[in-house]
Amino acid sequence: MKQSHNAGAREFGLRLWRALRQPLIAVLFGLLVGALVILACGQNPAAVYLEMFDKSFFKPYYLFSTLTRATPIIICSMATSMAWRAGYINIGVEGQMVTGTLVATVVALYVPGPPVLIGLLAWIAGMAAGALYALLPAVLTWKFQVSMVITTLMLNYVANNIASYFVTYPLKDTSGDGLSFHTPEIHEVMRLPRLSSSSTFNAGFLLAVAVMLLMVFITRKTVFGYESKMGGFNPSFARYGGTKQVKVMMITMALSGAIASLAGSAEVFGLKYRYSDGMLSSTSYAWTGLMAALIADLDPIGMFFVSIFLSGLQIGGSAIQRSLGIPLEIATIIQCCITLFVSVKLVFKIRKKKASKEEVKEGGVKA
Amino acid sequence: MNSAYIASILNSTLRSTTPILLAALGSAVCSRVGVFNIALEAQMLIASFASIAVNYFTGSILLSVSAGILSGALVGLIVAVLQVKYKAADMVVGTSLNLLIQGGTTFLLYLIFGLRGSLVDNRLVSLAKINLPVIRDIPFLGRVLENLTIVDYLSYIIALLLFIWLFKTVSGFRILSVGINKAAAESLGTKAVRIQMGMVVLSGALCGLGGTVLSMGQVIMFTENMTSGRGFIAMAAASLGMSHPLMTILSSLFFGLCQGIGLALQNIIKSQLTMTLPYIATIVALVLFSRQLKPSAKLKKQGKA
Amino acid sequence: MKHITKVYGSLYANDDVHLTLDKGEILAVVGENGAGKSTLMKILYGLEQPTSGEIYLNGQLQHFRSPHDAVNQKIGMVQQHFMLLNPCTVAENIVYGREPRKGIFFDREGAVRVTEALCEKYGLYIDPRRRVGDCPVGLQQRVEILKVLYQDADIIIFDEPSAVLTPQEVNELLRTMRKLADMGKSIIIITHKLHEVMAVADRVMVMRLGKYIQEMPKSETSIQEMSYLMVGRHIVERKVPPREPTGRVLDVQDLVLAGSDAKNILDHFSIHVDGGEIVGIAGVSGNGQSELIQCLTGLLQPTSGKILLKGQDVAGKTVGEIRTAGCACIPEDRYLWGCAAKASLTETAIMAHQNRPEISKRGLLNGKGAKDFTRALLDGYDVRNSGQAQRAGELSGGNIQKLIVAREVEQHSPLLIAAEPTRGVDIGAMEFIHNKLLEKRERGDAVLLISSELTEIMSLSDRIYVIYEGKATGEFRKADATEEGLGILMMGGKSHEAVS
């Protein structure tokens, strides 16, 4: 009994260590590259980083900004991982988010009825639209073996351009100055409640937490989660084991698109109260979410914290752009370097080599 | 629709084709040696920026073009080291680099020029425009080939040279063998890893030239993320051309035509909608051609199993 | 080769091994899987560097850093897994590495001429313009041999050359070796098939567990002595008591799978398997076995024909439906079909069991149920592991195979398809797996055994079919089957030839 308990604890420890070691080391390397860039800009890296983290995590106002910005990033990372873990390289989360959000906004603005109900309907319609937009490349992959990498990316541009068209012409708010391209504001009842009186931090963050918990549940506790994971590891193995792969692919992609739509809806219903041109693409929420997913190796809890970290980098990045004149893209540079270091797994290579050789030894002695 | 209109569409088709063709050739040489390179976008974008930056400070076309090619090759080298040498996952390396260069060029644009959005300046010089003496005076053809740059012509010559190199020479045979069966190539002393890395760097240089044309050809400016998915369209072009240099010319021309038509339609339909045309066309083309390729692809899969 | 030692981690793959080879001699290096024969040859061919030890060639000390160095010293190797460029022609493959040129251009016509001359010189004929991928396995091996000869090799290493050949092709190969030796080439053959050694070798060297055991002229040894030295103990030959079959479990009628050209991959293939019997399918790999397995398990859709499983036609049904109808399968390629390298042992073990009530209810996984189930498999089938969180890819080949066998046998299905169940596993795991298959038979279930190891088929099966070009070309009772008889059919001979 005690032994099994120990084994369980060891297994848990092993899993935690496996989940954390890679991202932590990669983050250090990423910050190191960032420091070099800052040096090249003629600034003191330590001072800049201090300022960056001060104005993203340590001061309450900035911490709230960080968490607010993290909301869509967390949800996008979940949407990305949903598909990637099953082996479907969906880099079209942005397009699915844009489509879903636009539909949700239109429903909220133009469908008549009691605002509470319509608000709910808007979220659901958005999810349906996001899901359908994600199913399109899934069907093309299934029927025509078209590369999902290319189709999902192409569909981003299509969605962005079409959304831009709608906001510029038919849906444009005519009451304003006419210079900014956005829709009218949604009804007050539909807006998500604020969680802090002094900032824009809102209930969207709770939604992000809920999506994360849902992901944990799906990946660890359901047969669907198991089957999609095996499909991602080795599709032939999953097929041979009798899983219905087409069904798994369709559910996976639909869920991915539906979750993606939540990211944008949370932004509209919780923060901006309207859809404005480029609000979801210029902020590159989807891509930051993708980076978070890669850094955390698709682990939901890991992605949650990495998303907050990356969001903090961006909030801190805009702070130092204002105060020190270093462009905020320093955040992008750091975050991409982190993923590159994650991809190489350099530090643990040696350790792994050793381990695998010991494996060989065991096999050899038995023979 | 009169012939002058058609000629102008064809003219802009040819101009739009060049960056796609060069990048598609880059994609093709990578897949010929079994490397899946999706950092084409990054390889192009950095060159667009580097060439304009050098152009701004030196005013020399030669230096600008070299800077474009070199910077593209440099990004290619990073891909080669990470993906081929350290066997990092292609999707992770590709997406990271695409975003890194997107952020990095924006960063530099602000840091060096203090600008956001784009860099336009009347000091910038354009690639030499060629108007061939006799053809210039032929009514229709003259308009089609009007004001093309030297690189527009060069890209087709490069495709032809690549074809000869890969399919007719001994070193090309060795290169192709790496993509067919890496272990077999290595077993007879071919340095497969070195060849793969070399081809990825070459793809960087080709994309670099493509990115240079983008910022110094039709327009002379740099805009944030100005490649806007062309690297991925080039991937589609290469895969439709079955990574064969000459077939890739045809598929690239198709995508160039879509962009040309998209530009021409802007006077009739809102630009946001015409801008979706190349992207939709890419998807449609992939779907249409997958039908024809399907049986052989399926058979390959079975053979493997 | 003197004092050759190769250490991986703390494993001695080769431990102070010596080897000598004279001109015009055929030396057989024999030993079990994992005895270190292949490592030794990889060192000689420059694919691996020895941890210590020296190689002398004609008295000269050599340092081979790559195969290229070995090739330059006129050493060539015919690998077990062919190193061929399948889409290219025979000639292109043969001249690879030393291509005839015209300036910088590849002289393909020259390559054809060179190949023809080479064929003529050694009496090994083959069409230089044929695509290698279209050639049968025996010819592909001939291309490999010609490649080595084109490189002007004086020492030729054959690594398990007969693994993929029919008995007749093996005889042809042995004749070729003898001919080459007579022409002055020195030959090393690595094998564990002792009758081949007796047929062709001049001298035998035995290895076990990385160590040099003994060396003797062939004339002074026997199969019994060699096998004793290889294994370190006497092998007891398996006696399987006959058993009356119970009712029909699998009945395959007129199964057709169309290929890309006019030729069918499976051509009106008909067999049946009863409960309580093991039915073997013998054949040279590539004659439709893979496709047969995939049709039977639902991975491929047959073009026409019936697959009756317990009387129910399952042709064209999905994998899941066929599994539910009562078919389990040990796949032929364990890494492609049988597992995912990154999956944990639990995840590997519950595949196709995930909907059992003790593992999941209404789509929700029961973690403890899955762990208990996995524990039972790991313990019951002696799978060495370091906890269920271990990745499947980290297990040795024999252990992962035992886990897959456990998973499929524990389906308790009326039909078990066992495809290459012991490929590349050590002798302990092999015996274990064979016993499990026989236990399955004892329980009255049907086992369809598909294997390219003729000895495996002959020792386990109650009945044997031969598959040739997608057709079932012969059926034998165990008592009537001889290696020669099967071999003739495997080569496409007629069944009356096989019997007479």
- C375 pLDDT more than 50: yes
In a domain, A118, yes or no: yes
Query: Across the interface, do A237 and C427 touch by the CB < 8 Å criterion?
Result: no
> Is the separation of the CB atoms in C406 and C383 below 8 Å?
yes
- Name the minimum distance, in Å, from the CA of A84 to any CA of chain B: 11
What confidence category does residue B243 fall into, taking pLDDT thresholds of 50, 70 and 90?
very high
| Minimum CA–CA partner of B93 in chain A | A340
- A313 pLDDT more than 90: yes
- Which residues of B are less than 8 Å from C96 in CB distance? 173, 177, 188
> Is the separation of the CB atoms in C283 and C490 below 8 Å?
yes
> Is the separation of the CB atoms in C500 and C484 below 8 Å?
no
Q: What is the pLDDT of residue B140?
A: 86
- What sign for the dihedral angle of Cα B266, B272, B276, B278? positive
- Which residues of C are less than 8 Å from A367 in CB distance? 32-35, 209, 398, 426-428
| Minimum CA–CA partner of C8 in chain A | A357
**Mind listing the pLDDT tens digit for each residue in B151-193?**
999 999 999 999 999 999 999 999 999 999 998 888 877 889 9
Q: What is the pLDDT of residue C193?
A: 77
Query: Across the interface, do C331 and A240 touch by the CB < 8 Å criterion?
Result: yes
In a domain, A242, yes or no: yes
Q: Is B112 on the interface with A (CB under 8 A)?
A: no
The two three-digit tokens of residue C301, written as one number? 């859709």
Query: Across the interface, do B92 and A339 touch by the CB < 8 Å criterion?
Result: yes
**Domain harbouring A115, CATH code:** 1.10.3470
**Which residues make Cβ contacts (< 8 Å) with residue C453, sequence separation at least 6?**
C420, C422, C423
Strand-pairing partners, residue B98, are none
Query: 10 Å Cβ neighbour count for C486?
Result: 24
- A9 pLDDT more than 90: no
The two three-digit tokens of residue A123, written as one number? 């979220």
Q: Is B107 on the interface with A (CB under 8 A)?
A: yes
**Mind listing the pLDDT tens digit for each residue in C388-418?**
988 998 888 888 999 999 999 999 999 999 9
Query: Across the interface, do A11 and C387 touch by the CB < 8 Å criterion?
Result: yes
In a domain, A38, yes or no: no
- Name the minimum distance, in Å, from the CA of B184 to any CA of chain C: 4
> Is the separation of the CB atoms in C123 and C41 below 8 Å?
no
Q: What is the pLDDT of residue C134?
A: 85
Domain that holds residue A181: 63-326
B161, B166, B173: best mutation site toward chain C, by most C Cβ within 10 Å?
B173
In a domain, A219, yes or no: yes
> Is the separation of the CB atoms in A308 and A296 below 8 Å?
no
What radius of gyration do chain A's Cα atoms show?
22
Q: Which domains does chain C have, with CATH numbers?
A: 2-231 (3.40.50.300), 248-499 (3.40.50.300)
Share of chain C above pLDDT 90, in %: 46
Q: What is the pLDDT of residue B294?
A: 44
- B295 pLDDT more than 70: no
Mean pLDDT confidence for A199-210: 95
In a domain, A49, yes or no: no
Q: What is the pLDDT of residue A274?
A: 94
| Enclosing H/E stretch for C360 | strand C360-361
**Mind listing the pLDDT tens digit for each residue in B191-234?**
899 999 999 999 999 999 999 999 998 889 999 999 999 999 99
Query: Across the interface, do C96 and B295 touch by the CB < 8 Å criterion?
Result: no
Q: Is B96 on the interface with A (CB under 8 A)?
A: yes
What are chain B's partners, defined as 3 or more CB pairs within 8 angstroms? A, C
Mean pLDDT confidence for C250-258: 93
In a domain, A351, yes or no: no
More confident: C8 or C206:
C206
Chain mean pLDDT for chain C = 87
Q: Which domains does chain B have, with CATH numbers?
A: 3-304 (1.10.3470)
> Is the separation of the CB atoms in C486 and C282 below 8 Å?
yes
What confidence category does residue A1 fall into, taking pLDDT thresholds of 50, 70 and 90?
very low
Query: Across the interface, do C319 and A240 touch by the CB < 8 Å criterion?
Result: yes
Candidates C66, C79, C106; nearest CB to B170? C106
- Name the minimum distance, in Å, from the CA of A146 to any CA of chain B: 6
What are chain A's partners, defined as 3 or more CB pairs within 8 angstroms? B, C
| Minimum CA–CA partner of B276 in chain A | A158
The two three-digit tokens of residue A305, written as one number? 């914290």
Q: Is B282 on the interface with A (CB under 8 A)?
A: yes
Mean pLDDT confidence for A341-359: 54
Q: What is the pLDDT of residue C498?
A: 54
Q: What is the pLDDT of residue A354?
A: 43
In a domain, A163, yes or no: yes
The two three-digit tokens of residue A4, written as one number? 């099994």
Opening angle at CA A164, ends A159 and A165, nearest 5:
100
In whole angstroms, give the CA distance from residue B207 to residue B237: 14
Mean pLDDT confidence for B288-305: 48
In whole angstroms, give the CA distance from residue A106 to residue A98: 12
Q: How many domains does chain A divide into?
A: 1
- Which residues of A are less than 8 Å from B110 in CB distance? 327, 329
Torsion angle of alpha carbons A17, A23, A25, A29, nearest 10°? 180
Q: Is C84 on the interface with B (CB under 8 A)?
A: yes
- What sign for the dihedral angle of Cα C256, C259, C261, C264? negative
